[in-house]
Structures are given as structure tokens and as C-alpha cells.
Amino acid sequence: MIERGLGKSREKNKYIYGYIVAAVFSFLLGWQANYLDVFDENKAVDDEPVLSDQTENVDLELFWTVWKEIEDKYVHEEAIDSQKMVYGAIAGMVNSLEDPYTVFMTPDESKEFNASLDGKLEGIGAELTVEHKNLVIVSPLRQSPAEKAGLLAGDIIYKIDDNLASEMTLIDAIMKIRGPKGTPVTLTVVRENLDIPFEVTIVRDSITIESVTMEKLDGDIVYLSVNQFNDTTNQEFGKAISELVLNEPKGLIVDLRYNGGGYLDIAVELLSYLLPADTKAVALRERGKEDEIMYTNGNTKLLNVPLVVIVNESSASASEILAGAVQDHKRGIILGAMSFGKGTVQEVESFTDGSSIRLTIAKWLTPEGRDIDKIGLTPDIVVEINEKDIQEKKDPQKEAAVKYLKNLQ
């Protein structure tokens, strides 16, 4: 087994999760790219590729024959853009894998994707996935234009303005929906419990995502909402933990709802506040390699504080790593709805022209060896939220978490 601890110095992993999620290119719908999904610094690739035997048996002459046919005969000569054709060919090759998390990005798309990791976005504030060729809302961000417009997790986007979403790639759909602050976009939405689609026009806005927010509740219970796993999350979470330790809380709620993921190592660092040092956090399984085990680093400060982790169908990737470890080690209880089920790991490779590929390079398993990909985590206590609860601004999941902790006092 390859072992990895994070105790001495935090060095970003190459591993990336992208929100969100079992068919998600975790782009937040904005000028950002969710997200998702666990990212790291991009690695420039300049080495000459070494082709496998399988690749050497592929006849590439057909590719160049078609290229030449286009150059010589296509009637709209002015429309021929050689660089665009190259990017299109690469994207087609990547798309042939039929993996929604493996994506080729042009220089412009890569730039916007990198900006998303810094929480910079303008758009409607939602995460998308593709399920059975449908464009699906994974989750609207809290207080985002998407949430305020009433979009819900599971909504299918049928049209973007007058364009059929089913005829677009995920990236194309994102590019259509995102846009500058103050501009409108009209979505035609299909919702499970409604007989006919409905239209909603959303005005794009600047969206600021607070990684961690804290609230003190009755009964000396502290509520921490973790909205993503980015560069600032560990610092914000650690600051909140240090503050609440001084108050000797009788219970802690960590809310991972609508959190599609982020950096892998940040999930492990947050677990380090909740689990004993050198506790198995997650296992990574790459092709042809031994499992790599990641352990907590010894920052434990809340080992004896009763813990509830809230998840829902939009909790994915790094969120599921944290919740899965808490559940496997019986450190606390998981409450809410079945999580999304994203059990793969992505890595971003950057190329010299600014383009990049986001490639699935591993699966991850919980400490007990569970593979939750396309399955999700089953909560210890199942509490559902219905549309009426949302409309009336009720939160039975949060209420149930508080009730559970109070009953332990």
C-alpha cells in the first residue's frame, strides 16, 4: 500500500473532483467553470507522448484524408478554422469515452475553469450534470439567482433560450447559460411532479461563495455549512473550529448539502479536525497501481463532540469523502437524503497553448472499502425535504439534526 499523510506541509494533490457528480462536469453555471468537483495546480505537458501498442495499430490516415477533403472542397471556405478543427477533433476523441467528468477545454474554457476554482463567477449560480442525455440541475447555489428563481435539484433544462439543451454538449450548455452580470437567460424547465414544462427568465449576477459559514444554535449546538472544498476552506473551517472549541459546544452539525466537491486534500484536512490522527480517510485506486491511502494529519480538536453531518442528493465527491469517513469510523451520524454518488477522481493537465484536459484517473473508496460511485451514501437517519418545505422556507433536515443532538444531552 502507498501511504500518504498530510501532516508536515500541505502540498496540493493533482486529484480533482468535479461536483459534482455522477454525470457532472462540475462547472458552476457562471463565468466560472464546480466544480465538480477537488482540483489541483495544473501541470504543463511538453513531453513527447509514448504510444501504446493499441494506439500504434490505429490508422490515422483517415483523419488526414478527411481533413484534406474539408480543406479542398468545403464550399464555405471562409468558415474553415484549422485551430478550431483541431480542438474539435480532440474534444470528439475525449467525448468518445462517454465520461462526463473527462473533458477537453480550449484555452478560453481553461481560463474560465481556473477562475472558478478561485470562486470568481458571474452567471445564475447552479451546477449541471448530464443524465440519460438530459441536462440536469445538480444544485442551485444558496442565495444565487438560480435558487431565487425557484430552480431545484433534479430539474431538467429542456431549452436554453430557443436552443434545445439535448443537442448541446455539457460545455456548450454551460457557455449558453453563463454570461455577464445583468443579462437575462430564459430556461425551459421540466420538473418531475409537473405535467408540462415551464419557462423561467433569470438575470445573471455576480456570485460570491462563502466556503464556510457558522451559526450558533440553541442548546450549545454549532452549525457549520461547508459550501465547497477550495483553497480557503481549510483555513475558514479551522478558524471556526478554534472559536467554537473555546465555547465547549455540546454538539456540532456539518452541513454538506449542495456541496458538489472540490480539492481532495481539503476534504482530508477537514476530516483531520474530526477524527484521530493517522486515521484512514480515503483510498485512491488508479489503473495498474496499488491503492494509495490518505490519512488524517492530527489536528483533532473535536473528537468528543457529538457530530451530525447533513447530506442530500447534491452532496457529491469531496463531500461524500468526508461523510463516508465519518460514517465508516462511526464518528457521528449522517442525516438527510441519499448523496449524489460520485466516486471518481480527476486530474487537470495543462498544455502549452493554454488548453487542458480534465481526465478521470482514479476511483476513490471509503475507509471500509465502499465504492459509492453512481450509488451514493445512505444516511443513518433519512429525512426528506419536499417542495412545500422549500416554498415555506422550512428545513426539516436541519431541525432533525438539532433534535438528535439535543436528545443526547
Cell of 266: 481539503
Cell of 389: 418545505
Residue 328 falls in the annotated catalytic set: yes
Q: How far is CA 229 from CA 187, 210, 225, 247, 273, in A?
A: 29, 11, 11, 26, 15
Integer Cα distance of 234 and 240 in angstroms: 10
Of the residues 315, 328, 339, 350, only one is catalytic, namely 328
Cell of 207: 456570485
Integer Cα distance of 236 and 173 in angstroms: 33
Of the residues 342, 355, 356, 398, only one is catalytic, namely 342
The 10 Å Cβ neighbour count of residue 286 is 15
Of the residues 26, 211, 272, 317, only one is catalytic, namely 317
Amino acid at site 336: G
The answer for residues whose C-beta is within 8 angstroms of residue 91's C-beta and 6 or more apart is 104, 169
The answer for residues whose C-beta is within 8 angstroms of residue 46's C-beta and 6 or more apart is 352
Q: How far is CA 155 from CA 130, 140, 243, 393, in A?
A: 11, 10, 39, 19
* CB environment 115-141: b (16+ within 10 A), e (fewer): ebbebbbbbbbbbbbbeeeebbbbbbb
Residue 84 falls in the annotated catalytic set: no
Catalytic residues: 317, 328, 342
